[in-house]
Structure 1
């Protein structure tokens, strides 16, 4: 039964609190989902191992959701467009190890109602799944809070090892976030290898996206932390967009490719890519 379900799943958008069908128009019997993703079969992060990681509670008219993001300047957080599609405001948590413990001395919490969602964002295809949150006041860097560098140029990062962290769902049937930050260190697939996984990936993967290999341990992202950063040697190369409906299916997770959005990020924030 488990294998049967893993094969018949389809593209759906999910969060820690709600699940909404999403079928990619190019996919065939799609074994993918657009999701708020987090870590499956990962490890517990050391305190402030990922100081650029941001937890985002998203308030919409109908529910409160959770996503991830990254601090890209003292004034801006980068996340996924689908996280903010229905948002009225967000609460951002910086410097957290236990996201559910506001008494942590390293935490900084801010609220924002100022978002910029990519003008090409398409909720039907999840193309251009990238957005910015403007902070009401600048965040100061500390030992627990750091600004991440962003990938630029044409480097694909294929076959390089990255790191993804998150507080979202870490096991089946879990409700709510995982309190302590978890992470995985997967390898990045070439787009050709990702497309060769099956016909569904072949239909939806473009040069604006990148995939991570689940490996033999089925390292994966799952519901609860879309928008979170994928970094290689401390440089953010992707942000979590979508992946397999069954988090343990051994299918790749898919990320928005950061270096394809240099000009958009520069135009809409105070981050400038210097030559």
Structure 2
């Protein structure tokens, strides 16, 4: 009997760790989140705008009165016009429900009192130190579906590659469309820093037998006034270059971290700045660069939160945990097994 209980306990632990989404042909598929799955998730919106507007950003509650998001979100929230910071009083924060359209309950809405952008933030094209803190006029009230995630311990070293994490957020189904109303999530894998660089990923069209020019024909010449790429011959196919969107410095320092891209026309794409990346129940990153629902395969790049924990603590007064106090999944797993064995031996032997 004791063995049966132990096996059931292990099965329940294993089942809770299984991801709900899949990956098809290298493309991440987003799944709908349950209402209490990401209680720290918030939507940063403009007052007067539609809750599902494409100008919204993601964010994460690091306390009941502080939201962590990107600085670029607070400078680029408007659909058109200059990229000046928007007034704090025009920012509202939605939390406590997976359906972004449920804004009538006052418990789910707070207005920003102020926000603090990192003093060394650089916008386009560098996007360095892309991080900001919003302070709310009134703290949220903690419930089962609304809780702060807290800060990670300070670290100057990037997490190990191949670590499995979760990215959550309200996402559009396609470029330039409004957000889907239900919160979604996907499992992501961290990339090594050497893989973080944004590089051209769209291959040139392949030459098929049907495309082969007739024997004896001349290759197509370069149009007048244009110079063929160095080292190429007339008629050579060249890869389609995807423009680099920011300086390489942004992806080669401990201030950022990367995952593989997400493009899925049926379930959404991680387009919103500020969406949180969580690994082993710890806040690891906030999204500041994605493919914006386009077909390119650029990596998704996040501001690495652990690098900024001391600055965040200075601004907010939130305590930064020590490295020794962080949650260790492997240790917790072994502890649970040991507890199950003790209980079963006590009552079933």
Kindly report the root-mean-square deviation, in angstroms, between the aligned alpha carbons of the 2 structures: 3.0
Cα separation, 1, equivalents of 2:258 and 2:142:
30
- Superposition deviation, residue 253 in structure 1: 0.6
More moved, 225-234 vs 211-220 = 211-220
Deviations 1:60-85 (A, max 9, x none): 9xx99311110001221100001112
Q: Select the structure with the greater relative contact order (CA < 8 A; seq sep ≥ 6).
A: 1
SS at match of 2:56: strand
Given candidates 75, 83, 97, the residue that maps to 2:73 is 83
SS at match of 2:306: helix
Equivalenced residues, count: 232
Equivalent positions of 1:1-275 (< 5 A) are: 41-58=29-46, 65-85=55-75, 86-88=85-87, 89-103=90-104, 108-124=108-124, 125-152=126-153, 153=155, 154-174=157-177, 176-195=178-197, 198=200, 200=244, 203=248, 204-207=250-253, 208-214=255-261, 221-223=269-271, 225-245=272-292, 247-275=294-322
CA contact (8 A) 2:263 2:295 kept: no
Cα separation, 1, equivalents of 2:198 and 2:91:
38
TM-score by length of 2: 0.60
Greater strand proportion: 1
From the CA coordinates, give the structure whose radius of gyration is larger: 2
Which structure 1 segments of 5+ residues have no match? 1-38
SS at match of 1:71: strand
Deviations 1:161-213 (A, max 9, x none): 11111113122452x22100011111010111223855948824122111112
Task: Report the CA distance shift for 1:162/1:122 in structure 2 as closer, same or farther (over 3 A).
Answer: same
Task: Report the CA distance shift for 1:256/1:47 in structure 2 as closer, same or farther (over 3 A).
Answer: same
Which structure 2 segments of 5+ residues have no match? 1-26, 76-84, 201-242, 323-349
Greater helix proportion: 2
Cα separation, 1, equivalents of 2:115 and 2:263:
39
SS at match of 1:77: strand
Cα separation, 2, equivalents of 1:129 and 1:216:
23
